[in-house]
Structure 1
Amino acid sequence: METTLPKVSVIVPIYNGEADLPDLISCLQAQTYPTDRVEYLLVDNGSSDRTPSILQAAAASDSPGGGNEKLNKINIRHLTENKIQSSYAARNTGIRAATGEIIAFTDVDCRPEPNWLQNLIQPFADSSVGIVAGEVEGLPGKTLLEKYADSYNVLSQKYTLEHPFCPYGQTANLAIRREIFQQVGLFRPYMTTGGDADICWRIQRETSWQISFAPTAIVKHRHRSTVAEFQKQWRRYGRSNRYLHELYGVTLMTELKATETFYRLVRWLLKELPVTSVKAMIGKATVVDLLNTPISLLNSQARSTGQRDAKLSEEAKIIERL
Structure 2
Amino acid sequence: MQREVRLSIIIPCYNAAATLGEQLTALANQTWERSWEVIVADNGSRDDSRRVAANFLARMPNLRLVDAGARRGSAFARNEGSRQARGTALAFVDADDVVAPGWVAAIGRALDQYPFVASRFDIERLNQHSWLSRTRRNPQADSLQRVSYPPYLPHAGGSGLAIERKLHEQIGGFDETLPRLEDTDYCFRVQLQCQVPLTFVPEALVYVRYRDTLRGMLRQTRERAIANVALARRYSQQQGESKRSLSPWLSYARRWLRQLGRLTKIRQREQFAEWLRMNAWLIGLLQGSLQYRCPPLAI
- SS of the residue corresponding to residue 278 of structure 2 reads helix
- SS of the residue corresponding to residue 234 of structure 1 reads helix
Q: In 2, Cα distance between the equivalents of 1:156 and 1:295?
A: 22
- SS of the residue corresponding to residue 210 of structure 1 reads coil
Query: CA 1:141 to 1:5, structure 2 compared with 1: closer, same or farther past 3 Å?
Result: farther
Query: CA 1:80 to 1:26, structure 2 compared with 1: closer, same or farther past 3 Å?
Result: same
What does residue 281 of structure 2 align with?
303
What does residue 261 of structure 2 align with?
263
Query: Of 41, 61, 77, which residue of structure 1 is paired with 2:39?
Result: 41
Shift of 1:93: 0.2
Q: In 2, Cα distance between the equivalents of 1:157 and 1:80?
A: 35
Query: Of 231, 250, 253, which residue of structure 2 is paired with 1:244?
Result: 231
For the pair 1:163 / 2:147, whether they are aligned, the reply is yes
Counterpart amino acid of residue 44 in structure 2: G
Query: CA 1:81 to 1:6, structure 2 compared with 1: closer, same or farther past 3 Å?
Result: closer
Counterpart amino acid of residue 117 in structure 2: V
For the pair 1:83 / 2:67, whether they are aligned, the reply is no
Q: In 1, Cα distance between the equivalents of 2:219 and 2:140?
A: 15
Contact 2:144 2:155 in 1 (8 A): no
Q: In 1, Cα distance between the equivalents of 2:99 and 2:48?
A: 22
What does residue 226 of structure 1 align with?
213
Query: CA 1:236 to 1:5, structure 2 compared with 1: closer, same or farther past 3 Å?
Result: farther
Contact 2:144 2:156 in 1 (8 A): no
For the pair 1:199 / 2:170, whether they are aligned, the reply is no
Contact 2:43 2:68 in 1 (8 A): yes
Q: In 1, Cα distance between the equivalents of 2:215 and 2:269?
A: 17
RMSD: 2.6
Q: In 2, Cα distance between the equivalents of 1:125 and 1:180?
A: 14
Counterpart amino acid of residue 158 in structure 1: S
Deviation by residue 1:128-159 (Cα, 9 ceiling, x = unmatched): x321000111124133211222xx32564735
Q: In 2, Cα distance between the equivalents of 1:210 and 1:154?
A: 19
Counterpart amino acid of residue 172 in structure 2: G
**Structure 1 segment 104-253 matched on structure 2, within 5 A:** 104-126=91-113, 129-138=114-123, 139-149=126-136, 152-154=137-139, 156=141, 158=143, 160=145, 162-164=146-148, 165-249=152-236
For the pair 1:102 / 2:89, whether they are aligned, the reply is yes
Query: CA 1:255 to 1:41, structure 2 compared with 1: closer, same or farther past 3 Å?
Result: farther
Does 244-253 or 202-211 show the bigger shift?
A: 244-253
Contact 2:4 2:87 in 1 (8 A): no
Shift of 1:5: 10
Contact 1:264 1:293 in 2 (8 A): no
Counterpart amino acid of residue 21 in structure 1: L
- SS of the residue corresponding to residue 17 of structure 2 reads coil
Residue identity over aligned pairs, in percent, reads: 25
Gaps of 5+ in 2: 242-247, 293-299
Query: CA 1:76 to 1:140, structure 2 compared with 1: closer, same or farther past 3 Å?
Result: same
Q: In 2, Cα distance between the equivalents of 1:189 and 1:260?
A: 37
Shift of 1:291: 5.4
Q: In 1, Cα distance between the equivalents of 2:45 and 2:168?
A: 27
Query: CA 1:158 to 1:296, structure 2 compared with 1: closer, same or farther past 3 Å?
Result: farther
- SS of the residue corresponding to residue 189 of structure 1 reads coil
Q: In 2, Cα distance between the equivalents of 1:12 and 1:156?
A: 22
Shift of 1:6: 7.1
Asked which structure has the greater CA Rg, the reply is 1
Q: In 2, Cα distance between the equivalents of 1:205 and 1:100?
A: 24
Contact 1:141 1:223 in 2 (8 A): no
Contact 1:238 1:306 in 2 (8 A): yes
Does 13-22 or 136-145 show the bigger shift?
A: 136-145
TM-score, structure 2 normalization: 0.82
Contact 2:111 2:162 in 1 (8 A): no
TM-score, structure 1 normalization: 0.76
- SS of the residue corresponding to residue 56 of structure 2 reads helix
What does residue 245 of structure 2 align with?
none
Deviation by residue 1:161-199 (Cα, 9 ceiling, x = unmatched): x33410112111110110002322111113111111111
